[in-house]
């Protein structure tokens, strides 16, 4: 397995939300945004037990995700696109996740009930880190768009 570069880990740790894409077994897609915490490259989040995301994960663990934020200057664009598998967590791992989430989101964990909430981990198999900071890309008057500077990390052999 390939090690995740430190700038990617730093970005994962600093960002607050991810958009997670799930699908039914026959390919009907769904995307939703979640607050998350990380331990290394593993992403942890929670969702309501009856939500579309949870129902789709029960039959298809394959997911895609993005972590990014809008910036007006394309030269400052950063983000992550990834894919992997998602699984419910419980037991000792759940206690660890609750600590990670409480550390990252202290105001959302005070007096919080976990009734009707399921906790999950996303284990990425691939990550693409986009980092245009310092690229100084300029577009001509007839050009639109930008080529993003991307670093691909394949985590499975």
pLDDT digits (tens, 9 = 90+) for 122-154: 999 999 988 877 665 565 656 555 555 556 676
Q: Which pLDDT tens digit goes with each residue over 93-114?
A: 998 998 999 899 988 655 556 6
Q: Per the structure block, which two tokens stand in for 100?
A: 């990670």
pLDDT for 132 equals: 79
| Contact criterion met (CB below 8 Å) for 123 and 87 | yes
pLDDT of 89 over the 60 cut: yes
Q: Which domains are seen in the chain, by residue range?
A: 6-154 (2.30.110.10)
pLDDT for 3 equals: 86
Instruction: Name 20's Cβ contacts closer than 8 Å, sequence gap at least 6.
Output: 31, 32, 33, 34, 45, 53, 63, 64, 65, 86, 122
Q: Give the mean model confidence (pLDDT) for residues 71-87.
A: 87
Q: Which pLDDT tens digit goes with each residue over 16-72?
A: 999 999 999 999 999 999 999 999 999 999 999 999 999 999 999 999 999 998 888
pLDDT for 2 equals: 73
What CA–CA distance (Å, rounded) separates 68 from 130? Answer: 9
| Contact criterion met (CB below 8 Å) for 81 and 59 | no
Measured at the CA of 132, the angle between CA 130 and CA 136, to 5 degrees, comes to 160
pLDDT for 115 equals: 73
β-bridge partners, 14: none
How many other C-beta atoms can be found within 10 angstroms of the C-beta atom of residue 67? 23
pLDDT for 32 equals: 98
The CA distances from residue 9 to 3, 6, 15, 60, 120, in Å, are 10, 5, 10, 26, 19
């Amino acid at each position: 397995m390939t090690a995740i570069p430190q700038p990617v880990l730093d970005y994962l740790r600093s960002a607050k939300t991810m958009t997670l894409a799930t699908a039914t077994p026959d390919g009907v897609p769904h995307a939703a945004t979640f607050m998350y915490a990380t331990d290394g490259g593993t992403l942890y989040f929670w969702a309501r037990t009856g939500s579309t995301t949870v129902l789709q994960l029960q039959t298809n663990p394959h997911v895609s995700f993005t972590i990014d934020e809008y910036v007006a200057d394309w030269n400052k664009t950063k983000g992550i696109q990834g894919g992997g598998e998602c699984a419910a967590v419980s037991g000792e791992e759940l206690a660890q996740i609750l600590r990670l989430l409480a550390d990252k989101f202290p105001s959302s964990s005070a007096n919080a009930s976990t009734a009707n909430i399921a906790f999950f981990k996303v284990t990425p198999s691939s990550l693409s880190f986009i980092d245009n900071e310092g690229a100084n890309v300029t577009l001509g008057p007839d050009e639109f768009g930008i080529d993003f500077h991307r670093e691909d990390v394949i985590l499975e052999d």
